[in-house]
Amino acid sequence: MVSLENAKAILLAAGKGVRMKSERAKVLQELLGRPLIYHVLRAVRTAGLKEITVVTGHQEEAVRAAVGEGVVFVRQAEQKGTGHAVQCCEPFLRGFGGDLLVMPGDAPLVMPATLASLVERRRVSGAACVVLTACLDDPRGYGRIVRDSSGGFERIVEQADASESEQRIQEANSSIYAFDASALWDALREIRPNPRSGEIYLTDVLAALKSRGQAILTQRSADACEIYGINTRRDLVAATNFLRWRLLELHLDNGVAVVDPSTTYIEDGVTIGPDTTVRPYTVIEHDVVIGRGCDVGPFAHLRPGTVLEDRAEVGNFVEVKKSRLGRSSKAKHLAYLGDASLGEGVNIGAGTITANYDGRSKHQTVIEDGVHVGSNTVLVAPVRVGKGATTGAGAVVLAGRDVAAGDTVAGVPARSLRMRQAADKAEEPPRKAAKVRRTRPRGNG
Ligand code: UD1
Ligand code: MG
């Protein structure tokens, strides 16, 4: 693979996404726990492109925040079409005449290797543009690739402008292009707004280049889902399914025993060690790390910031958020662990709750090695349960009332049994008196 370090990329992310019918800008819609634009940006970076320009407009601040640092932002104040969005970048890329990848922020399934090969092919061929296409069973909504009598590229026609015969074309435009930048800027100046919509279409640049005698090549993706563009909520669901299976297969290939992939929902950004079993109806959200030999589910819910160390077990109806379970620690049934840090070999009884939220802020619970938490214990954070301690069934351990190592606490609010025994002993009446009481029982006289 040639180095793409000198290549640049433009991502189009200024549109509203009207067809999504949402308050939220389209590129911010979530796909397996990450905004669409995150997936696109990662693919471009993984392909090896470093200089990236992102066009923003609708909900600009939020989109820029989601994109983060390390890119150049260009404002498209009014969304006048994909071609216009690229025109807005010209002043910022002035003088750049090399390889330029242009792609939409709503195509999250494209693989980095595909992007790299598109740019590489453009460079090697010297063509003005290589466009990524795919043959779709249902290409409705996509621009179609119209070919000339010899099978070469002729132009792209949008769905709304397509004749009946053009609508039967199954080869769709991905909207992902590798351009020779200088040819692109020249051709863009010629493009007139589409008479129907009034927008300037990037797709029209290809026909303009062609009419100038420049070469346009197509590259067909073997995996059609790569070109998926998300315009509607239905598209988002379809993309979620594609990506979900792609990730599940990766986990299986890494040695994770996903017992029933069809009922297992694992988001992006989850690491799972080999020989871990994930049982049916389990939800694992993004940014979760699971070690080797763990057992998760059925019906477990692991939320962002969860870490399970090797051989930890999380069973049915257990929710874990921003918490760490040390090696071989277990929470097997009906529990909530939030903002908690558990040492090794901890056992969490059924019904245990870390009450982490006081209505204003979240607080931490620390449970040290070898603690045995009895069923239905409530640990009101912030609180620490010392090494080897035990809580009795139904105990409510109040905030700040840390449990000493090795102690046993019980009751509501929970008190140390060790202390209670000592206090009882101190109060115990003399043995003789006790004897008297026993020989003259109440009511016997
Ligand atoms: C576009 C293509 C279509 C292709 C499809 C693939 C055009 C005219 N059509 O259609 O041929 O099959 O993608 O998914 O290019 N955007 C801006 N500014 C604008 C308009 C759009 O930044 O003024 C951004 C959007 O935020 C989006 C991307 O460009 O990320 C594509 O826009 P969208 O409206 O989704 O185009 P499609 O109708 O899908
Ligand atoms: Mg689109």
Q: Which atom of ligand 1 is nearest to the CA of 174?
A: 6
Residue 416 and residue 399 in one domain: yes
Q: Which atom of ligand 1 is nearest to the CA of 204?
A: 8
Number of folded domains that form the chain: 2
Q: 288: Cβ–Cβ under 8 A, 6 or more apart, which residues?
A: 269, 270, 271, 302, 303, 304, 305, 306, 307
Q: What is the pLDDT of residue 445?
A: 32
Residue 55 and residue 178 in one domain: yes
- Using CA atoms, how far apart are residues 281 and 260, in angstroms rounded to an integer? 8
Averages of pLDDT over runs of 10 residues in the chain (445 residues) are 84 96 98 98 97 98 98 97 98 92 98 98 97 97 97 97 98 98 95 97 98 97 96 97 98 98 98 98 98 98 99 98 98 98 98 98 98 98 98 98 98 92 80 50 40
Residue 24 and residue 172 in one domain: yes
Residue 195 and residue 250 in one domain: no
For ligand 1, whether the C-beta of 85 sits within 6 Å is yes
For ligand 1, whether the C-beta of 82 sits within 6 Å is yes
Residue 132 and residue 255 in one domain: no
Residue 212 and residue 247 in one domain: no
Q: Which atom of ligand 1 is nearest to the CA of 13?
A: 26
Residue 211 and residue 243 in one domain: no
Domain that holds residue 378: 236-424
C-alpha triplet 56, 61, 64: angle, nearest 5°: 60
Q: How far is the CA of 142 from the centre of ligand 2 (A)?
A: 8
Q: Rg of the chain over CA atoms, in angstroms?
A: 31
User: Which one of 209, 227, 245 terminates a domain?
Assistant: 227
Asked if residues 221 and 174 have their Cβ atoms less than 8 Å apart, the reply is yes
Q: How far is the CA of 421 from the centre of ligand 1 (A)?
A: 74
Q: What is the pLDDT of residue 444?
A: 39
Q: What is the pLDDT of residue 428?
A: 77
For ligand 1, whether the C-beta of 178 sits within 6 Å is no
The sign of the CA dihedral 56, 61, 67, 69 is: positive
Q: What is the pLDDT of residue 379?
A: 98
| Burial class for 442, CB neighbours closer than 10 Å (0-12, 13-18, 19+) | exposed
For residue 117, the domain's CATH number is 3.90.550.10
Q: What are 349's two structure tokens? A: 């009884």
Quick check: is 445 in a domain?
A: no
Its pTM stands at 0.93
User: Which one of 192, 227, 262 terminates a domain?
Assistant: 227
Beta bridge partner(s), residue 381 = none
Q: What is the pLDDT of residue 432?
A: 56
Residue labelled with tokens 């292009």: 177
Residue 257 and residue 163 in one domain: no
For ligand 1, whether the C-beta of 175 sits within 6 Å is yes
Quick check: is 205 in a domain?
A: yes
Quick check: is 340 in a domain?
A: yes
For ligand 1, whether the C-beta of 55 sits within 6 Å is yes
Q: How far is the CA of 375 from the centre of ligand 2 (A)?
A: 52
Q: Which of 39, 84, 333, 363 is catalytic?
A: 333
Quick check: is 434 in a domain?
A: no
The best mutation among 175, 199, 206 to test binding of ligand 1, ranked by most ligand atoms within 8 Å of the C-beta, falls on 175
> Is the peptide bond prior to 430 cis by the omega test (within 30 degrees of 0)?
no
Active site residue 363: no
Q: What are 29's two structure tokens? A: 């819609």
Q: How far is the CA of 341 from the centre of ligand 2 (A)?
A: 43
Residue 193 and residue 249 in one domain: no
Residue 214 and residue 339 in one domain: no
- Using CA atoms, how far apart are residues 51 and 28, in angstroms rounded to an integer? 22
For residue 244, the domain's CATH number is 2.160.10.10
Quick check: is 441 in a domain?
A: no
Q: 221: Cβ–Cβ under 8 A, 6 or more apart, which residues?
A: 114, 132, 133, 134, 174, 227
Quick check: is 43 in a domain?
A: yes
Q: What are 317's two structure tokens? A: 């109806």
Quick check: is 307 in a domain?
A: yes
Residue 212 and residue 255 in one domain: no
- Ligand showing the shortest atom-to-Cα distance for residue 136: 1
Quick check: is 98 in a domain?
A: yes
Tally the residues of the chain. 445
Asked if residues 178 and 98 have their Cβ atoms less than 8 Å apart, the reply is no
User: Which one of 227, 252, 271 terminates a domain?
Assistant: 227
Q: What are 409's two structure tokens? A: 């606490």
Q: What is the pLDDT of residue 439?
A: 45
Residue 27 and residue 120 in one domain: yes
Beta bridge partner(s), residue 355 = 380
